[in-house]
Amino acid sequence: MMLRARDLGLPFSGQPGPFNAITDVAGVRVGFCTLTDPARAMRTGVTAIIPRPDRGTPQPVWAGHYSLNGNGEMTGTHWIDDAGYFLGPVCITNTHGVGAVHHGAVRWMIDTYADHFANHAWAMPVVGETYDGVLNDINALHVTSDHAIAALNAATGGPVAEGSTGGGNGMIAYEFKGGTGTSSRLVGPWTVGALVQANHGIRPWLTMLGRPLGQTMTEGRLLDRERGSIIVVIGTDAPLSGLALRQLAKRATIGIGRGGTPGGNSSGDIFLAFSTANPMLLPSPDQAILHKQELNIEHLDPLYLAAVEAVEEAVINALVAGEDVVAIKPAGLVVRAIDTEALRAAFA
């Protein structure tokens, strides 16, 4: 059974959904392709998020994004800015795998939505990245388009594996083994879920639920300054506009900030928020008027808080799921898992 932060007695605020995961948002599926081969210095992968069951026809997913610090990549965001939506999946991988994963996601979309792409259609999937070059030979370009397709085909609802899974396989956070983490919050009739690929922060910054634990957990230090990144994906079934979703994505800044990071200069801290509400087919040129519901912005504060809490817990879940891993640069260095028993004692 996967150990999670709540199992250690950490007193998080808010009410999570049944899986405490982004998949608590109805219809959202998550899949992984995890690549590990120490003989080839390979520890990497692909994480895939499919926001809605499209049933063979792609449907817009209303969205917004925000960059706290732009030393990273997330494809498709220019169109999100202009249209307020995207089509297809979201994938996360390592920095040098973006092109291969984008290619694979396009192939998957062409195959999945064959009738749609029989016409003059184009694909623009969202692909984000963080750097795994300490634990993985990133220049070997281990990730291929087939790995992206495998992650997408593996996507399911229900519990989500954390830690060294998919794109999170080679990641380090606060100088502990990091990776994939997820959490959710219930807000009245709606759900807000977050999934992170945590590869950010240095140990002295590490804070959990207001406690500066990184200042006492000093063993196994690796870095003298920030060298990583974090991708955050927030999903909800609340009916939000593209503008409101951009505002929701901004709240990931506060969520990761609760963990202690100020968003270092070398960090790519890039956040996406999407809503599965208002399902509809692609707008037709023959449709002059589109009809959809939007939550009054005066009622967004509970959703903002839910996003902050879910992102904060998702990062901690990524750390709790970590395990000791030997680095390739410098060779032989061990990136330690966080001491979960010390965490348990800190909140006893």
Cβ neighbours of residue 292 under 8 Å, at least 6 residues apart?
A: 239, 277, 278, 280
Q: Which of 137, 184, 269, 275 is catalytic?
A: 269
Establish whether 267 is a catalytic residue.
yes
Beta strands in the chain (DSSP E): 29-37, 42-50, 61-70, 85-86, 90-94, 126-130, 172-173, 176-177, 179-187, 190-199, 229-236, 268-275, 325-328, 331-335
DSSP states of 18-82 as a string?
Answer: TTSSGGGSTT-EEEEEEEEEGGGTEEEEEEEEE-S--TTS---EEEEEEEEEESS-BTTHHHHHH
Establish whether 224 is a catalytic residue.
no
Residue reference for tokens 């028993």: 341
Q: Which of 229, 237, 241, 275 is catalytic?
A: 229
Q: Are strands 229-236 and 268-275 parallel, antiparallel or unpaired?
A: parallel
Cα–Cα distance measured from residue 129 to residue 167, given in angstroms and rounded to the nearest whole number: 8
Cβ neighbours of residue 143 under 8 Å, at least 6 residues apart?
A: 35, 44, 45, 46, 93, 94, 96, 97, 100, 101
Q: Are 147 and 46 in contact (CB under 8 A)?
A: yes
Cα–Cα distance measured from residue 307 to residue 323, given in angstroms and rounded to the nearest whole number: 27
Q: Starting at the edge strand that comes first in sequence, how are the strands of the sheet with 85-86 ordered?
A: 85-86, 61-70, 268-275, 229-236, 190-199, 179-187
Q: Which of 164, 183, 241, 267 is catalytic?
A: 267
Chain centroid to CA 231: 5
Residues with a catalytic annotation lie at 229, 267, 269
